[in-house]
Amino acid sequence: MPSRPMIGYTHVTKSFGPLRAVDALSLDIAEGEFLAIVGRSGSGKTTLLRLANRLIEADGGSITVEGEDVRNIDPVALRRRIGYVFQSGGLFPHLSVADNIGITPKLLGAPAAEIAARVDELIELVQLERAAHRDRLPEALSGGQRQRVGVARALAARPRIVLMDEPFGALDPLTRDALGEDFRELHRRLGLTTVMITHDMTEAILLADRIAVMRSGKLLAQGTPAELSDSSDAYVLELLRTPRRQVERLNALLPQGGAA
Ligand SMILES: Nc1ncnc2c1ncn2[C@@H]1O[C@H](COP(=O)(O)OP(=O)(O)OP(=O)(O)O)[C@@H](O)[C@H]1O
Ligand SMILES: [Mg+2]
């Protein structure tokens, strides 16, 4: 790695009782990179993400953020530097869209007028409608709109790093596609470093610069899609076969050039 990684995991281990959820894992994420983490349910993806902002603490090894050992960073300060988008959106159901988005600046003691201006800016950034959505409760939003609020909230404190735990999982394919593209553009425009967990290899290939494959708490492979397809591991190759098979079936079923 030529320069210091934005997030660096070195021999990180986290056990829950006898289970090693993350097992001596090393991984560097470069500044500006968009990394996707894929792997079966229970392979340790969420645990890995939560270790970075100290939602859980590692048992062994070390984790750095912008070169600093996370153990030396106050957890609250750390979470201000790292936006986190939860799988289900994780919005507070009793708070309006605006209050959900503004919760971090509010906890940081920002003045009300400043929070309001920042909330408006973020609503625009994630392409929600200020007039229609600002004062609604999360229950009155579609799943895709809720995820946009989740992204806005994660960006509120202007973090340089965003961690996303299956952010687009429960959405229909078109919404998912649109949100993925929109986020990729935000990632670029804001110069973010993004780590996104996904179950969907096609999504990982389309959005990420690099893909990390986890199995049983270990890093099985990492690289660009092209690099991964050179892997000799059967599971990695199987993961890559699925998108390929989908493309072949679609090509067979859809008339070529059928954009109409
Ligand atoms: N707080 C906890 N206490 C005990 N076991 C846990 C805890 N959190 C996670 N685990 C276990 O650690 C393993 C890894 O969990 P993790 O949530 O990281 O998996 P994952 O890859 O995110 O799975 P999924 O794709 O289903 O979200 C699982 O076996 C899980 O049951
Ligand atoms: Mg998970």
pLDDT in tens, the chain (260 residues): 457 899 999 999 999 999 999 999 999 999 999 999 999 999 999 999 999 999 999 999 999 999 999 999 999 899 889 999 988 778 999 999 999 999 999 988 999 999 999 999 999 999 999 999 999 999 999 988 999 999 999 999 999 999 999 988 778 888 888 889 999 999 999 999 999 999 889 899 999 999 999 999 999 999 999 999 899 899 999 999 888 888 888 888 888 765 55
SS3 of residue 38 by DSSP: strand
Q: Kindly give the distance from the C-alpha atom of residue 121 to the centroid of ligand 2, in angstroms, as a whole number.
A: 30
Closest CA to ligand 1's atom 28: 42
Per-residue pLDDT, 258: 55
Counting ligand 1 atoms within 8 A of each CB, the residue from 25, 46, 196 with the most, and so the one to mutate, is 46
Q: Please, what's the b/e burial string for 160-187 (b: 16 or more CB within 10 A of its CB; e: otherwise)?
A: bbbbbbbbbbebeeebbbebbeebbebb
SS3 of residue 194 by DSSP: strand
Per-residue pLDDT, 108: 85
Query: What is the domain-level CATH number for residue 129?
Result: 3.40.50.300
Residue 101 lies in a domain: yes
Rounded to two decimals, the pTM is 0.91
**For the chain, how many structural domains are there in total?**
1
Order across the sheet with 68-69: list the strands.
Answer: 19-29, 7-16, 60-65, 68-69
Residue 66 lies in a domain: no
Residue 148 lies in a domain: yes
With a 6 Å cutoff on the Cβ, whether 45 touches ligand 1 is yes
Per-residue pLDDT, 171: 80
Tell me how far apart the alpha carbons of residues 119 and 153 are, in angstroms, rounded to a whole number: 9
pLDDT tens for each residue of 65-117: 999 999 999 998 998 899 999 887 789 999 999 999 999 999 889 999 999 99
Per-residue pLDDT, 194: 98
Residue 184 lies in a domain: yes
Residue 48 lies in a domain: no
Residue 233 lies in a domain: yes
Residue 70 lies in a domain: no
Per-residue pLDDT, 251: 86
Residue 58 lies in a domain: no
Tell me how far apart the alpha carbons of residues 37 and 247 are, in angstroms, rounded to a whole number: 22
Per-residue pLDDT, 1: 47
- Domain span at 193: 33-43+75-253
Question: How would you class 226 by CB atoms within 10 Å of its CB: exposed for 0-12, middle for 13-18, buried for 19 or more?
Answer: exposed
